[in-house]
Structure 1
């Protein structure tokens, strides 16, 4: 600010937050990589289960052909969605584990549960009950990954690259999907469709990823913010210094830890203690926190019912509806779909989310997704027998439009990876104060899996003809298009920009009335930042400030 005139901002440049170069070191990226791998849990499952279930050997082991068509549809939907059901429970109690034993041990525990469930699934012996149980138990582990992974990454990442770091988790979701799709395709081509190895070999990807993550946790440091929450301030300073690759007495490290401590003390002061009732009051009775919960809930509802997640899970079936014939061709087209999503996630992480901002990246992704859904819905409206009449053969005159619809599925996946799928983890992980971060993220991810289960479970029935109780493929894609457009309008009005803001300064985004936060919250927070910087002259973390924190902590403990 000079002469009352604000300098022009280049939106295609990272914010300069005066962070030392040392903070962008190998320890940070190794930690981000290790916890980002947790994203592969969902990706591997979404990419594997449809191909595994459709193998002849798997269907033979459960005597699938003996059931009528309606029962077959329900069995397929149940097997596919059982991980989502388990994930609801996993996400629900993830905060208890995260806040009791820490982010590191929570990760180790979820890996063990994940492996146990997959082992039961692989050794089901033809029992549907064992299949359901194994996938449910695996879901208990998988459901914790979007709580533990993004929270840990957001808590250790410097503010200027927090979006990139958290989106690496999303990138691994798509890496898991790509590897799963190609594992299915490779097994189909090289192992045949009638051997156990056809579905057992791809399914082993679960155990491989869980094992790698489990081992890597022994080379990581616990989150300094978790340690502050537990009162282990010296250990928090030590670990922060190691993660930042700076001496423990470096001004930047001391200031960062002191800011975390100060913010935590203010949270405790606001609700007079650390009891469960205090946490609930903080979540639901403080207007700014309640608005953040509202944002997290709506992000999960809008993103999941835009349909892109279920398209990933049932990609093989949907490409068949759009005119792809032949199992090998369908699996290959699906694998390419996974690559498209992976590329989009990388582009979002590297060039968008910390460059043009979360909100712009999200709106760009939603726009692409909406255009794609409208095209596919229009194509199916013009050719209504596709996916409804099994005897219908697509005429040559419709082949070009069919390939266009397939391309639009790719574009929808590209938009989903740029927008909703990245933001549903990033925004949830960075919005909340330290005291309620784990429990609020856990609640949001519980709703994530509830909605994902609902959408995943509903899609096979939605695709059925109206005469069989469905809404047909045409109605399904018009429904997804409508939700996507509605979600875009909601994002524009409701979500503030969080780019370049420290976790401890998020409160300033929510100082305005709720109906102004999305449109004006960022500008108002910037004005507050400028006022604070002028008042304090950028100084934070003096010895006197440390003494003040210790005195406040002692006073609060004596009152409690």
Structure 2
């Protein structure tokens, strides 16, 4: 049966993509990243602050009861993140990118206030963590997606990477905020733990204001909704060009053609094809299926690096290897965050659009794996009990250095490249749903690792590090063999890399194909995708609502 392939339009290289406005908008939207990063950084230190342990009457460190309580405090954010990331699909669909950011910021703000004023009430603290998780989950979906849709192709990797850079900067602030309050606020005061938690309010409030007054709606979303005039205005404003500029015209044509191909019956489907489950079915069409599986693998794989265990329990890890005293442990944890931040900045600003995504991920897998193998061997050889502080030794100092080496190599790729890749590979038609599902996978795997890490650290000892080192070997090989490079491709040219689910069409008898406002059987033939043909060679029902 003959097929017809609709080739995408030519690649677009916008004039002067490095204008300051696109960077300004990126940094504003990355306030959502600050919600995520600061929360991750601050909670690890708050758990070891003397005032927090006293006010919340925490059990003895290293006991099963302590592991359960701290595991719940940490992991409830991930449960909320899972709910928020999946729920954001509806928010983006009906309220747009700006509306979703406002919603995420508002829910996060409520959670931050609840945590700050919990006054030793564990239930209120846990509820606040859950609400903050919902807001954070929404932000992790909409912010990278929003940046990718605004960014010129030549700097898209770097711009989406700024999301992760801000994540690390805010995480760094969280670590050092704990160090400062521990140093200058007496442990007898509840302000010691309230101030770090209250700082969460700032980025969420600023994101709400930015979404209301400054950030424009995504041009791609506006075109998909049929508002081409406003889409052109927004695109021209972001590019700092006139609405009639040739660059704006060409980019609008490319966006419109991509969306037209994805929504037109001639290209294969209509926006409500297959009923309510239509979009879910399309995720598994050839051309989409590969993207979904790769993105899910990368999101799940990011947490199989062991980063969540080390991020949330860094102070505990440093204590177990040889550092002692709250001040020293928090200082070491702050340096850990600083190393991650510097490595992330170098990777996403200078290497991702030069070396590409695959090379960075493979290199990162090798470095992180080697570091974890050594730490695991040290813990096993010395018969270290991770629930108790250890005496310093030369081998212990090398293990501590390996923690920083691990942080650097992880941040070189697995930290930010995964978010860039997943934000750029999906076609507009399924982008919202696909990114929500992939981010939900990220939160689900985060929850599993965060909840299990205290027990794994205490009971598995060196096996904790061996497990994640082995996962990194497998993931590095998987990236090398299975993950295609996307460097320099426009969002509309990703079909060249993965194939199109909407470009290969066949001519069939209409069968029960019908459209609202037209009598069934009015047309004798139509072009539909191979996936939309039933066993008898007839087009499946496609209904416009």
Under TM normalisation by the shorter chain, which class is it? 0.7 to 0.9
Instruction: Tell me which residue corresponds to 1:364.
Output: 363
Q: Secondary structure at the match of 1:287?
A: coil
Contact 2:117 2:194 in 1 (8 A): no
The answer (yes or no) to whether the contact 2:30–2:163 under 8 Å persists in 1 is yes
Q: 1:244 aligns with which of 227, 231, 239?
A: 239
Per the alignment, in what secondary structure is the counterpart of residue 494 of structure 2? helix
Deviation of 1:18 after TM superposition, in Å, equals 4.1
Q: Matched residues in 2 for 1:409 and 1:498: separation?
A: 31
* Compared CA separation, residues 435 and 126, structure 1 to 2 (3 A): same
Cα distance change on mapping 1:409 and 1:558 into 2, 3 Å: closer
Alignment counterpart, residue 273 of structure 1, candidates 270, 279, 297: 270
Deviation, 1:288, is 1.3
Does the 8 Å CA contact 2:368/2:405 hold for their aligned counterparts? yes
1:61 maps to which of 55, 58, 63: 55
| Structure 2 Cα separation of the partners of residues 319 and 183 of structure 1 | 18
| Secondary structure at 1:394 match in 2 | coil
Structure 2 residue 72 is matched with structure 1 residue 78? yes
Within 2, Cα distance between the matches of 1:249 and 1:239?
Answer: 12
For 1:357 and 1:69, the matched residues in 2 are separated by 45
Which residue pairs with 1:541 in the alignment? Answer: none
Distance 1:558 1:112, change over 3 A: closer
Counting only pairs closer than 5 Å after superposition, residues 2-401 of structure 1 correspond to structure 2 as 18-21=13-16, 23-65=17-59, 69-217=63-211, 218-269=213-264, 270-275=267-272, 276-284=276-284, 286-387=285-386, 390=388, 393-394=390-391, 399-401=393-395
For residue 481 of structure 1, what is the aligned residue in structure 2? 469
Give the conservation status (yes or no) of the 8 Å contact 1:87–1:446.
yes
Change (3 A) 1:232 1:512: closer
Matched, 1:504 2:501: no
Contact 2:29 2:215 in 1 (8 A): no
Q: Could you say what secondary structure the match of 2:355 adopts? A: coil
How much does 1:51 deviate? 1.5
Partners of 1:296 and 1:180 in 2: how far apart?
29
* Distance in 1 of aligned mates of 2:160 and 2:405: 23
2:460 maps to which residue?
A: 471
Q: 1:298 to 1:387 in 2, by over 3 A?
A: same
TM alignment of 1:533-552, pairs within 5 A = none
Farther off after superposition, 413-422 or 271-280: 271-280
TM-score, with structure 2 as normaliser:
0.87
Q: Secondary structure at the match of 1:349?
A: helix
Q: In structure 1, the residue corresponding to 2:157 is in which secondary structure? A: helix
Query: Residues 464-491 of structure 1, C-alpha deviation per residue, up to 9 Å, x if partnerless?
Result: 2xxxxx322x010000100111110010
1:353 Cα deviation (Å)?
0.4
d(CA) in 1 for partners of 2:105 and 2:543?
40
Q: Is the 8 A contact 1:322 1:386 kept in 2?
A: no
Alpha-carbon separation, structure 2, partners of 1:68 and 1:492 = 39
Give the aligned partner of residue 529 of structure 1: none
Question: 1:65 Cα shift?
Answer: 4.1
Query: What RMSD over aligned residues (CA atoms) do the two structures have, in Å?
Result: 2.0
The one of 414, 424, 427 equivalent to 2:418 is 424
Partners of 1:365 and 1:419 within 8 A in 2:
yes
